Chain A
Amino acid sequence: MAVIGAFCVSVNKELCINANMPGKCATCAEVCPHGVYTLDKFSGEMEVQNFNACVGCRICAEFCPANAIRINPAEPEFVTRYPWTFSTVEEIHHKAQTGEYLLRGFGTHGQTPNFDMITVVPSQIASAAPLDKYREECDMQVVIGEDTCENPVVLKAPFVWPAMSFGALSKEAKMALAIGAAMTGIATNTGEGGLVPEEAWLARGYTSKEMTDKQWEPGGYLIIQWSTGRWGVSADYLNSGDAVEVKIGQGAKPGMGGHLLGAKVTEDVSRVRGVPVGSDALSPCRYYDVQTLDDMKHMVAFLRDVTNYQFPIFFKLGPSRPYADVAACIEAGADAISIDGMVGGTGCSPDIVTQGVGIPTIACIPPAVQALKDYGVHHKVKLIALGGIRNGLDAFKAMAMGADAAGFGSAAEIAMGCRVCYACQKGNCPYGITSQKPEMRARLDPIETGKRLANFIHACTEEVKILTMLSGHRATKELSPEDLRAMDVNTAALTGLKLCGYDRALPFWEALQPAQAGGNGHK
């Protein structure tokens, strides 16, 4: 379960600069987020002191100027010693020594039910003919808030950057996400850490506050998050974007609020959040100012009022009881609902929560869609799938299952350069993505990184286009579960998709068709 352990660290002493000239190089010790390497202050020699702390991110290997480091997985460990693997042993020792539970950044690891056991069904002779990706058009636009507000959000591609807060991310990373959104016509999100002022104009494609010099076409959108910690929130904050998102939960730690440890609460973060420098900013797990669904309805009403009925209202859910939670969001007045599966990302969370709490993304979507259908608002109230979406293929599958769009959170961090070291909470990210340290942040150029993010979205957009058209559709809104098949019984059981070979849904899913059972038996 724990991040620690499971990798072998090898240093080629013939190549290693430090081995040949002690004190000359300690790059690996400087960049490793987990203290695998230590530098002896007296001899100047670098040592691999803590093998079991390696998580396999390979940041050390990337930074090593002599290419002397190799990291190899030690998977047989999980076969031969399970359940008492080294990582479990180390975790128990850690708790015994410190009395503290483990914290983790980034997200869940290991096997959870995922999109990989779902395959796309192409068109052949019996279905609508496939369309030509190279010479025909594919409509991927998603409109949110069409009938409920003055200024709907019109995504040019069916993607968003999900909420990632300033504090969890550096200012430069937030700016890069905004630029990436502007270059692709999608939406970025403030997260719950308040507004980085530049986001407001960068996301729309402008280079300055005056918004007279549009640099990046077509321009994107900024979603303003309203959350339980209410960091940096005011009426002006709510009016600085294009939509308001009410955060109920997130995939990595549903039932808990945001965690920003003191190491990342710098003066800038402190100023925005209103917490002392160096103190932990721990958002409440619930809204102190909501006790009932009626309260939530009133909250949506005043959020619309404060924003002069201009913007759509999003909700963001963690993976709990998707049918009932989505139904509650619909009743509260949502224009769009993001549901974040258990593989969703985080800047910091208790290890056991990220690893062991919540529903996988593929199991969240069908009940969420059923709720939307039962209320008669499927594709009207938009559903956005989050949590471990890696590429256009995952996004396509989510949309064919009934979502209108998908979000790339962890994938966006990786597109910015992240190597998944699971130590975002420590604030030492050598790529400047999740660090607040000036020397780390200086490594992240917002414009160049924004281009990387835009490239990633362009590639994923093309992937979705390929899959949509080879399935015989001219628009992503035409996709349906008929475009997919589950490749094993477990996936068919979790999703209700037809099983390959059997070519129909498993019997208990067929028995739950809305006309027969009132929609999953809930409503």
Chain B
Amino acid sequence: MITINAKTKDLKALNLALKESVNGTPVTVKNAAQLHGIGAGLKHGEVIIESSVGDYVGVLNAGATIRVKKDAGKYVADNMTAGTVIIEGNADYGTGQYCYGGTVVVHGNAGDFTATMNKGATIMVTGDVGDEAGTYMLKGDLIIVGNAGRNFANYLIRGNVYIGGQWQSIGHNTKIEPLTDEDEAKLRAYFETYQIEADPTIFKKIVAASEKPFYN
């Protein structure tokens, strides 16, 4: 195990150290709360961050596994294309935006605009999410174990949104469909993999009403 103390490092120095270090051996990072963009564009390896982190952790992640032991700032795993980002605390505004692939797991609450413009990732939040979660989602799965705020799944175009709790209001271009056996099996598999305590059978599924809701 390699340990890096980020207290006196800037983003360039830390990310360079990560790129050079992630060759089969997990890297532990301490004191990284002040940095934004940790692990940007990593293609492989495992990074464990023991502190809280700033914004844009795991941005453009292209295959690495990044685990944050405490809370994360805004824009977790922004524009990720592959890999896994796990937040063991809460995540702020805009978790999992613009992702093309990979998995984001927040073992806590996530803020507004979670999974906005998701284009293929699996994004799971074990707690609640704020307003506008799943806005203009184009592909992938968004799974909320708790509750959602206003305008949930607004202008959904494609992909699946699952929720175990309630929403304050649902967005445009959405419809509720019954959970299929495949959906249940998928959710169960996710919950087992990421050790999430939830009963798939109580989840509701939201899909797009139309793939072309803007201009006829």
Contacts and interface: CB of A to CB of B under 8 A. Distances in A.
Interface string A222-240: 0000000110011110100
Contact of B11 (A261, A282, A284, A305): A305
B157 A279 contact: yes
A306 B136 CA distance: 26
A134 interface: no
Given A276-B157, A301-B11, A306 B41 contact: yes
A302 B36 contact: yes
Contact of B139 (A274, A295, A304, A309): A274
A299 B37 CA distance: 8
Interface string B42-82: 01000000000011100110100000000000110011010
Interface string A279-302: 110101000110100010011011
A280 B214 contact: yes
Contacts of B203: none
Contacts of B158: 275-276
A235 B41 contact: yes
A282 B211 contact: no
A100 to B, nearest CB: 8
A289 B43 contact: no
Given A274-B119, A289-B75, A298-B56, A236 B212 contact: no
Nearest to B93: A291
A289 B37 contact: no
A103 B216 CA distance: 12
A233 B79 contact: yes
Interface stretch (B25-33, B94-102, B163-171): B94-102
Contacts of B200: none
Where chain A touches its partner, the secondary structure class is: loop
A278 B213 CA distance: 11
Contacts of A22: none
A302 B138 contact: no
B74 A291 contact: yes
Contact of A280 (B15, B97, B139, B215): B215
Interface residues of A, number: 31
A234 B81 contact: yes
Contact of B59 (A236, A261, A302): A302
B139 to A, nearest CB: 6
Contact of B74 (A234, A261, A295, A302): A295
A302 B135 CA distance: 24
B12 A305 contact: yes
A236 B61 CA distance: 11
Contacts of A309: 12
Nearest to B40: A302
A429 to B, nearest CB: 18
A44 interface: no
Interface size class of B (residues with CB under 8 A): 35 or more
B130 interface: no
A289 B12 contact: no
A304 B97 CA distance: 20
A352 B117 CA distance: 27
Interface string A248-292: 000000000000011000000000001110111010100011010
Interface string B133-173: 00110110000000000000000011000000000000000
B212 A305 contact: no
A345 B182 CA distance: 47
Interface in B107-121: 113, 116-117, 119-120
B53 to A, nearest CB: 12
Interface in A293-346: 295, 298-299, 301-302, 304-306, 309
A97 to B, nearest CB: 14
Contacts of A299: 56
B138 A289 contact: no
Contact of B97 (A100, A282, A288, A302): A288
Nearest to B135: A288
A355 B69 CA distance: 52
A274 B120 contact: yes
A278 B212 contact: yes
A295 B55 CA distance: 8
Contacts of B11: 301-302, 305
Contacts of A291: 74, 93
Q: Which one of B11, B37, B120, B157 has the greatest number of beta carbons of chain A within 10 Å?
A: B37
Interface string A390-406: 00000000000000000
Nearest to A274: B119
Contacts of B78: 289
Q: Which 5 A-B pairs have the closest CB atoms?
A: A302-B37, A235-B41, A306-B41, A298-B36, A274-B119
15 contacts: A233-B79, A234-B100, A235-B81, A275-B138, A278-B211, A280-B212, A280-B214, A288-B97, A288-B113, A288-B116, A288-B135, A289-B97, A298-B36, A299-B56, A302-B11
